[in-house]
Amino acid sequence: MNAAGPPMGQEKVVAGSTTGKVGDTVSSSKVKGAPKLREDGKEPELSKAELKKRSKEEKIARRAKEKQEKATVGQPDVPNHTQQGQPIAPESNTKSPASGTPGPKQQKRRGSSTTNPQRQIPIRTSEASAPTVTPAPKKDNKNVALFSHLYGHSRRSTMAGAGKDIHPAVVVLGLKMSHYIICGSNARCVAMLLAFTRVIESYSTPPGNSLPRHLTTHLSSQIEYLVSCRPLSVSMGNAIRWLKVKISEVDPDKPEENAKQDLCEGIDGFIQERITVAGQAIATSATERIQDGDVILTFAKSSTIYRTFEKALHNGKQFKVIIADSRPLFEGKALARQLANLGIQVQYCLLHAISHAIKDVTKVFLGAHAMTSNGRLYSRCGTALIAMTAKEADLPVIVCCESVKFSDRVALDSIVMNEVAPPDELLGSDDVGSPLSSWKDTPNLQLLNLMYDLTPADYINMVITEYGSLPPSSVPVVHGLSMNT
């Protein structure tokens, strides 16, 4: 019953030709295609055909193993079945002729973990490969949300970017308005019309176009440049509408030089009639309201108010003027200097001292930027406070305003329609070291520089125009009359 075992030398060869599975021995006689051993236990020499066949089998097995390794990339390694303390077959440089797979030494070269069962290949995850991006800090918005519709584009402060079709006179006017060299509703309107006169004088109609159509388009580009420097006043808007109507009435068959001359003469007549003569008529009517010994309170600067005080002084009336002023423009300083040069007694104060200065006041005279159709006064920011303080003190409030400043718009507050000036203008040259000097870098801090406010009609007793004295409720009637003429 006892079967004879294989020779001793053959057992050693089989033990040394393992294919990676620990503890399994395969007899060379049972492996298909394995070469037979010689009697001395050594592997016989193979022919060239057998070596080529074994090399081909090894190559196929190696490719199959590489394909399997690529399929298992990104998955954790299978734990090695060998543990510490268990016998491991000794390494051998030979390759198994039965399976054709590379030996342990070749597996180590290809990254196998057979020789080091405790080592595991690190797994690459998406979190580790993605770079950490630090989000940029959110920029603090310095615009007040309630007035966001008024900001628009920033003012143009240089002539850079002006189109080639913009007349040099318009470029100079825009820069002067942007830097407040020309300030005030009447002054800006007159300067604009004079600039348009120079534009019309240097204009020539292109071939194939008519003057009424092309000149209107040419003026539109000039107006857009002025708007980019500073928003237009109500009087400027009324003057532009009048001028466009005047251009549309030009006969296309009329010689170009005659048409341009008529337009320039019409602009001069508009300035003379609607602004100059109207201001003189208002000053004459307002002077009758001034009595000897009056203490008159006014705010900021108005060219019509200045003409009124000048004419009253020439009529021999003795009175005192209190000028209230506020930043950032401090326009009242120029008016105080002009009245003092005329010999009028002047008192100057800032807006926050109005409750003290109004104790001696007998009348309040105010200029206007515009009058709305519902009888409200649209003027420099701070005018409403003056009018309400005067109403509380039971003082008459008189507004001097030309009809060219009347508007057909209805305003209920100073939020929908207003002008927002650059906030840096609130910081004077003396505020370099003040806490507000670095307001742009201070979080949750915003500066608002409104140019105008709205005074309710209940705080106004009288509006003096070139058509006479009238209540605020009659403004739309006079506006319609002035536009028809």
Mean pLDDT of 127-137: 58
**Phi, psi of 270, deg, nearest 5:** -65, -45
Q: What pLDDT is recorded for position 100?
A: 46
Q: What pLDDT is recorded for position 36?
A: 52
Q: What pLDDT is recorded for position 437?
A: 82
Give the bridge partners for 295, in sequence order: 320
Q: Which pair of tokens denotes residue 266? A: 């019409």
**Phi, psi of 114, deg, nearest 5:** -70, -40
pLDDT above 80: residue 105: no
pLDDT above 70: residue 16: no
What band does 132 get if pLDDT is binned at 50, 70 and 90? Answer: low
Mind listing the pLDDT tens digit for each residue in 374-409? 999 999 999 999 999 999 999 999 999 999 999 999
Indicate the DSSP class of residue 419. -
pLDDT above 60: residue 30: no
Mean pLDDT of 354-369: 95
Residue 401 in contact with residue 371, Cβ under 8 Å? yes
Residue 329 in contact with residue 180, Cβ under 8 Å? yes
Q: What pLDDT is recorded for position 12?
A: 39
* Mean pLDDT estimate for the chain: 82
What band does 179 get if pLDDT is binned at 50, 70 and 90? Answer: very high
Q: What pLDDT is recorded for position 38?
A: 53
Write out the DSSP string of 6-34. PPHHHHHHHHHT--S-TT----TTTSTTP
Mind listing the pLDDT tens digit for each residue in 306-324? 999 999 999 999 999 999 9
Greater model confidence, 119 or 241: 241
Greater model confidence, 282 or 99: 282
Mind listing the pLDDT tens digit for each residue in 36-93? 555 555 566 778 788 888 888 888 888 888 888 877 755 554 444 444 444 444 444 4
pLDDT above 70: residue 439: yes
Residue 473 in contact with residue 399, Cβ under 8 Å? no
Q: What pLDDT is recorded for position 431?
A: 65
pLDDT above 90: residue 161: no
Rounded Cα gap, residues 401 and 405, in angstroms: 7
Q: What pLDDT is recorded for position 84?
A: 44
Residue 387 in contact with residue 364, Cβ under 8 Å? yes
Residue among 457, 301, 450 nearest 377 (CA):
457
The model scores a pTM over 0.85: no
pLDDT above 80: residue 233: yes
pLDDT above 60: residue 14: no
